[in-house]
Amino acid sequence: MDDIDRRILRELQKDGRLTNQQLSERVGLSPSPCLRRVRNLEKAGIISGYAAVVDPQAYGLPVTVFLQVKLSPHTQETVATFEQAVAGIEEIMDCYLLAGDRDYLLKVVVASLADYERFIRRRIHKIPCIASLESSFAFGTVKHSQVLPG
């Protein structure tokens, strides 16, 4: 991947709906080589897909919670059980494996605090290998970026 590929990626991260003509003008290539590079980036898995970025609050999910999870015991079976369960829960937007005191960090979106309570009671408490939970409620967003640095 060279500097032109990186410029292509930055522009597409800013606006995935750019036409090939617009993209080629922004990165200083003619349309054919630009399209060829985009296709190569897709084929290589560097571009893994395209999606609309939706405002959760406007969508009706204004509450964002960061949920830290600790598992017990730490076995391959409990990790697999937890990760499989999390993959099937739509309120969980992101799940990160952590180093440190907690094992996972989940980003959860819900419509209300009552919905979050139901989510914990009906979805999370059913996962058998959870030792502890710690919730942090986001009350604002300072920065959210879809564009990777560099």
CATH of domain 56-138: 3.30.70.920
And the tokens for 65? 């919670």
Q: Is the peptide bond before 62 cis (omega within 30 degrees of 0)?
A: no
Model confidence pLDDT, tens digit, residues 59-95: 999 999 999 999 999 999 999 999 999 999 999 999 9
Burial of 103 (0-12, 13-18, 19+ CB in 10 A): buried
What are the structural domain ranges in the chain? 3-43, 56-138
Q: Give 90-130 pLDDT, tens digit per residue.
A: 999 999 999 999 999 999 999 999 999 999 999 999 999 99
Q: What is the pLDDT of residues 1-57, one digit of tens each?
A: 999 999 999 999 999 999 999 999 999 999 999 999 999 999 999 999 999 999 999
HEC per residue, the chain: CCHHHHHHHHHHHHCCCCCHHHHHHHHCCCHHHHHHHHHHHHHCCCCCCCCCCCCHHHHCCCEEEEEEEEECCCCHHHHHHHHHHHHCCCCEEEEEECCCCCCEEEEEEECCHHHHHHHHHHHHCCCCCEEEEEEEEECCCCCCCCCCCC
Domain boundaries 3-43, corresponding CATH code: 1.10.10.10
Asked if pLDDT for residue 150 goes beyond 90, the answer is: no
Q: What is the pTM of this model?
A: 0.89
The CA–CA distances, whole Å, from 138 to 107, 121, 125 equal 10, 20, 22
